[in-house]
Amino acid sequence: MPNHSFEEGMSGWQPSVNDPSHVGAAVTVDRTQAKHGAQSLKIGLPAESRAAATSPPAPVRGGQDYLLSFWYRCEGFSETGNYAGVNLQYVVNWLDAEKKPVGAGGMGLSYGAVPEWRFMTRMYLSPQEAAFVALTFPMSVNDKGRPSRFWLDDVQLRAWPGEPKPGAKTWVFRVADGTYQQDLFRRVADDDTATGFAVLANPRFNDKPGYLAANLYTRAIPPGQYRALYRLKIAEIPAEPQALLAWDLNTDSVGFLNAGTIGTAAFKQAGAYQDFVVRFVLPPGVAWIDPRLTWNGGVATWIDTITVVEEKTFTQDDVDFLME
């Protein structure tokens, strides 16, 4: 990203402040706080107000994996870690060649204070029409929120190719072993799986959204880059496409490593299993990851396994490059 470490001040970045009560909300460069270089971006909200900082558009290619990473810390916020009137997030805005929106993503950040610099990373697949990307970091404090401050440094969005290496290590998690929302979905016999069992979401019995896979909490995977394969099948492919499933790779400490949706139009054939492949980077310091799948209802869906395939286990040099 241009001026990713704010060594050129706010050059290229666009601040915005909504401070109707004139409490002193501000977006500035702080020369006393930095993770890299000599300064960082700071948003300070002493009382009820809003502010944000938006990066300049950076060129990208459509249909490619990009790894977003940044460092942040914050003070104030919530004393308990639960929402207490202060909100902080980031938004990824994909733009076409004319810089018109073609997609967006993002995630909320910690409700609680983060006193030490925290590294965040997440993989994104750019839309096919994307030619540019811009990042926005909005923050707000309501009338019940504490005075709060947020610092941001070393914001990067890098093209991140990768393929499984020969003899790559593989972890296979069989969802029918119990890692699903058992009050909504059923473990059923299925001759198309290696174990003879799968988990079924069937709208004939339940049409409530829920976790078709969750609570794996695997701690076996070392820092590195990987791909996750969700093995799924559906009973039919409706003539009118539906948003069938939402998936994410959740963690204990840095939110989602990747997330997205799977629609019925993505299935090639009804009644046949298909692997849906997503990529992620696992940084150091993450205690567990939880590949999850949420069924949105409407079409009978089976899940067999979630498989994690190694692309690369990180050396210290790789970690340094990732977190530089």
Alpha carbon distance 17, 26 (integer Å): 7
In a domain, 1, yes or no: no
Residue 80, both tokens: 């308990």
Do 192 and 110 belong together in one domain?
no
The candidate with the shortest Cα–Cα distance to 127, out of 160, 161, 93, 158, is 93
Would you state the pLDDT for residue 139? 98
Q: Which two tokens stand for residue 310?
A: 């190694």
Residues 309 and 196 in one domain: yes
Query: Is residue 277 located within the same domain as residue 187?
Result: yes
- pLDDT recorded at residue 166: 83
Do residue 179 and residue 305 come from a single domain?
A: yes
Same domain, 133 and 52: yes
Task: State whether 178 and 295 are in the same domain.
Answer: yes
Asked if 319 and 183 sit in the same domain, the reply is yes
Sign of the CA dihedral running 300, 304, 310, 313: positive
In a domain, 3, yes or no: no
> Do 273 and 186 touch, CB atoms closer than 8 A?
no
> Residue 111: what pLDDT?
95
Which residues make beta-bridge pairs with 275? 231
Domain that holds residue 140: 14-159
| Residues of the chain falling short of pLDDT 50 | none
Torsion sign, CA atoms 219, 222, 224, 225: negative
The pLDDT value recorded for residue 245 is: 97
What pLDDT does 312 receive?
Answer: 93
CATH of the domain at 219: 2.60.120.260
- Tell me, yes or no, whether 6 lies in a domain: no
Torsion-angle region of residue 34: left (phi > 0), alpha (psi -120 to 50) or beta?
beta
Do the strands 65-75 and 148-159 form a parallel or antiparallel pair, or are they unpaired? antiparallel
- Could you tell me if residue 5 is inside a domain? no
Determine the pLDDT at residue 152.
98
* Domain limit, last residue, from 159, 186, 215: 159
Q: Quote the CA–CA distance of 4 and 255 in Å, as a whole number.
A: 22
Please tell me whether residues 109 and 180 are part of one structural domain. no
Given this model, what pLDDT does residue 163 score?
87
Distance CA 241, CA 290 (A): 28
Residue 236 has φ and ψ, to the nearest 5°, of -155, 160
Q: Write down the pLDDT at residue 220.
A: 86
Could you say which of 119, 140, 159 is where a domain stops? Answer: 159
Task: Look at residue 1 in the predicted model and tell me its pLDDT.
Answer: 85
Looking at the structure, tell me whether residues 60 and 105 fall in a common domain. yes
For residue 165, the model assigns a pLDDT of: 78
Burial class of residue 45 (count of CB atoms within 10 Å of its CB; 0-12, 13-18, 19+): buried
Give me the number of domains the chain comprises.
2
Please tell me the predicted confidence (pLDDT) of residue 65: 96
**Shared-domain flag, residues 200 and 287:** yes
Q: pLDDT at position 201, please?
A: 97
